[in-house]
A = this chain, B = another copy of it.
């Protein structure tokens, strides 16, 4: 006898002089067993140092109480936050999390889906940029329940919990316009990688148009989400003959990089240059200057997604759930009314949001 080998319900059953079925019952539904026998079994269990084998259990019960979670990279605080939201709700409900990073690579995503299938995960939550069609199709073909965060999806039957990217972005730009800025640049994320980035750019462009401001392609830079790319982008913008007086950044990381570069060039933020971010990372409130940004409800999206998924798994709700959470513009110190006396700006619509009301991610 291998002294290391764990004991099984069979051993426990023998020890307690009951059947394995009974042991199984005290494990899964203690009520169904007479108190007396239950205690006998419990005692036998710790006499045998019994440890439940979830593998065997899952195999026969056909569920694992494990959720797959895919993020681009756990290293980005904003994704750590969704993950935490998922994790917290899941743990409270007896589910564990299998974590997968894609590193923004679609192939990895496919691998993960495969892995999840093999591991017989109960359901999966996708976070972050999402090139809809093909992957969603692939997911559907697996018959695994899943929910998507960050971004809405056309399909009427796909679960998601997102926020209105377009609208939040629109608000940011509108706010900048309201401060009197008319040369507004944008440091965007990569459109090819992140549909969110694209959406934010569309909002930027639309807002400019709505206020009769010209769209200047050279004011728009497409960059990866890193501090140094934010610096590069800003360096470029500052070299432009008539540089923007405000820059709308695709996320806080880019915004901070941009600020670093601007300061390096001797500009004061926000007096000489206004900058806005997106995400509201924890650090953003403590940066110098504190960042004006859009607070994305990352943790809440995670929690919500886990909730939807788990309720779905429990059969508590079968129809698709689609939620849009509120994202909020947080005005802090990195933006200010334009200083330079340039031709007074004749904004036609008032600075108050107006169009934004009926606008949405769809365009």
Contacts and interface: CB of A to CB of B under 8 A. Distances in A.
Interface string A269-284: 0000000000000110
Contacts of A73: 84
Contacts of A64: 55
Contact of A59 (B52, B55, B259, B287): B55
Nearest to A101: B87
B119 A96 contact: yes
Contacts of A260: 286, 288
A97 interface: yes
How many copies of this chain sit in the oligomeric assembly? 2
Interface residues of A, number: 47
Which among A64, A80, A227 has the greatest number of chain B C-beta atoms within 10 A?
A: A80
Nearest to A62: B55
A307 interface: no
Contacts of A4: 143
Contacts of A97: 98-100
Contact of A117 (B51, B115, B143): B51
Given A51-B117, A53-B59, A73-B84, 7 more contacts: A52-B118, A55-B55, A74-B74, A96-B115, A97-B99, A97-B100, A263-B288
A104 B73 CA distance: 23
A74 to B, nearest CB: 5
A119 B54 contact: yes
A120 B54 CA distance: 7
A56 interface: yes
A77 B287 CA distance: 16
How would you classify the secondary structure of chain A's contact residues: helix, strand, loop or mixed? helix
Nearest to A284: B283
A105 to B, nearest CB: 12
Contacts of A256: 283, 286
A273 to B, nearest CB: 15
Contact of A80 (B56, B77, B91): B77
A118 B87 contact: no
A227 B282 contact: yes
Contacts of A143: 4
A255 to B, nearest CB: 11
A56 B59 contact: yes
A69 B101 CA distance: 14
A132 interface: no
Contact of A118 (B54, B91, B119, B282): B54
Interface string A75-88: 10100110110011
A120 B55 contact: yes
A192 interface: no
Interface in A103-123: 115, 117-120
